[in-house]
Chains A and B, each alone.
Chain A
Amino acid sequence: KGRRNQKGKNRGCVLTEIHLNGTDLDLGYETKEELIFRYCSGSCDAAETTYDKILKNLTRKKKIVTGKVRQACCRPTAFDDDLSFLDDNLVYHILKKHSAKRCGCV
């Protein structure tokens, strides 16, 4: 499914990565360890399914009120492996589902 991003209409929705310090996450951990954070970003404007097309059309015709329905979002469709680190007080922590592995318009 993720491959759709490269070939399909939603070329904009891609996996991007950024190198961070553990403290940049603001999750309350005191650690000097670092990590790669991967996230999904980009546009999902091009309607992907008939469902999305119908929603768009109905919104345009004001048959349904905008704001109550959502467009497809560029979101993770799979998460990266768990990440573990040792904090400054020598306590281990494990982060699960913290970073994206694949993206899609869902």
Chain B
Amino acid sequence: VEPVLSKGNNCLDAAKACNLNDTCKRFRSAYITPCTSSTSNEICNKRKCHKALRLFFDKVPPKHSYGMLFCSCRDVACTERRRQTIVPVCSYEDREKPNCLNLQESCKKNYICRSRLADFFTNCQPESRSVSSCLKENYADCLLAYSGLIGTVMTPNYIDSNSLSVAPWCDCSNSGNDIDECLKFLNFFQDNTCLKNAIQAFGNGTDVNVWQPILPVQTTTATTTTASRLKNIGSETTNNEIPTHNDSPACANLQVRE
């Protein structure tokens, strides 16, 4: 029997569901740990946090990972929880906000970031004349591409608590002659109806069938990298063994209830 879900906070319900699922629970704490452990002179080890976040979105079924990232909200408690999903203080925020075009340059120097950014631009391309508002007419591929950016230097997050606007940690100040190009790049995140509709459709549970195991669809070469990310749910387990040769600790007399 499903527990009675509290009304309104889908993000909390998604977190509950995650911790009741062994795979989601394991990969969730596997990124919360590096993303919240401060090092001697830094707030966290950003590289380790990013790596664990990529692993979380690679290994955990979309039902759970998207459940926490794309939950629909009616109040601030919910949207704040949603914003905290990726532990933004470590994975997102930085002391300085770089120019978006400079950030794009550093992304292009990294194989994973470059291919995932390309996937995002391909699969979340808005098209005002289509029913879905997406050129590709495929919300699942757009969300897969968007979530694929989490854990790269282009890591996006919600920018405020009352909309579905997202952006990477950058702005367009000091763009000089490239200001139009910079704004076009930034607005692809901030003001993208295809992405917003995709997030909304997931949050509302409309389009439900699309979220079941996504088969690798190879329409273009750009989609292959994200599609292959869904294969091979990891089976490696950490063991947490207790040495049994120690003195027995207090022996509690717990009895199994009949």
Residues of A that sit less than 8 Å from B by CB = 1, 12, 14, 16, 19, 32-36, 39-43, 70-86, 90, 92, 94, 97, 101, 104, 106
Residue of B nearest to A16 (CB): B256
Q: CA of A90 to CA of B11 in the docked complex: distance in angstroms?
A: 13
Which B residues from 75 to 90 make CB contacts under 8 A with A? 80-81, 84, 87
Interface pairs (24), CB distance under 8 Å: A16-B257, A32-B6, A33-B12, A33-B19, A34-B3, A42-B255, A42-B256, A70-B251, A72-B248, A75-B251, A77-B241, A78-B242, A79-B240, A79-B242, A80-B240, A81-B26, A82-B30, A83-B25, A83-B29, A86-B15, A86-B81, A92-B36, A92-B84, A97-B240
Name the contact of B15 in the complex, choosing from A12, A16, A33, A73 (C-beta under 8 A): A33
B238 at the binding interface (Cβ < 8 Å): yes
Interface contact B239-A78, CB-CB below 8 Å: yes
Residue of B nearest to A81 (CB): B26
Interface contact B248-A94, CB-CB below 8 Å: no
Interface contact A94-B244, CB-CB below 8 Å: no
Interface contact B20-A36, CB-CB below 8 Å: yes
Q: CA of A79 to CA of B239 in the docked complex: distance in angstroms?
A: 8
Residue of B nearest to A44 (CB): B251
| A42 contacts across to B, CB distance below 8 A | 254-256
Interface contact B242-A77, CB-CB below 8 Å: yes
B50 at the binding interface (Cβ < 8 Å): no
Q: CA of A55 to CA of B154 in the docked complex: distance in angstroms?
A: 64
| B241 contacts across to A, CB distance below 8 A | 77-78
| B242 contacts across to A, CB distance below 8 A | 76-79
User: Chain A: interface secondary structure?
Assistant: strand
Q: CA of A105 to CA of B9 in the docked complex: distance in angstroms?
A: 43
Q: CA of A34 to CA of B19 in the docked complex: distance in angstroms?
A: 7
B22 at the binding interface (Cβ < 8 Å): yes
Number of A-B contacts (CB under 8 A): 97
Interface size on B, residues (CB 8 A): 37
B33 at the binding interface (Cβ < 8 Å): yes
Name the contact of B254 in the complex, choosing from A19, A39, A85, A94 (C-beta under 8 A): A39
Shortest Cβ gap from B147 to chain A (Å): 19
| A70 contacts across to B, CB distance below 8 A | 248, 251
Shortest Cβ gap from B12 to chain A (Å): 6
| A78 contacts across to B, CB distance below 8 A | 239-242
Q: CA of A82 to CA of B36 in the docked complex: distance in angstroms?
A: 14
Most buried by B among A34, A76, A81, A82: A81
B215 at the binding interface (Cβ < 8 Å): no
Please encode chain B, from 12 to 29, with 1 for each CB lying within 8 Å of some chain A CB and 0 for all others: 100110011010011011
Name the contact of A90 in the complex, choosing from B9, B26, B84, B256 (C-beta under 8 A): B84
Interface contact B238-A81, CB-CB below 8 Å: yes
B252 at the binding interface (Cβ < 8 Å): yes
Q: CA of A71 to CA of B252 in the docked complex: distance in angstroms?
A: 11
Shortest Cβ gap from A83 to chain B (Å): 6
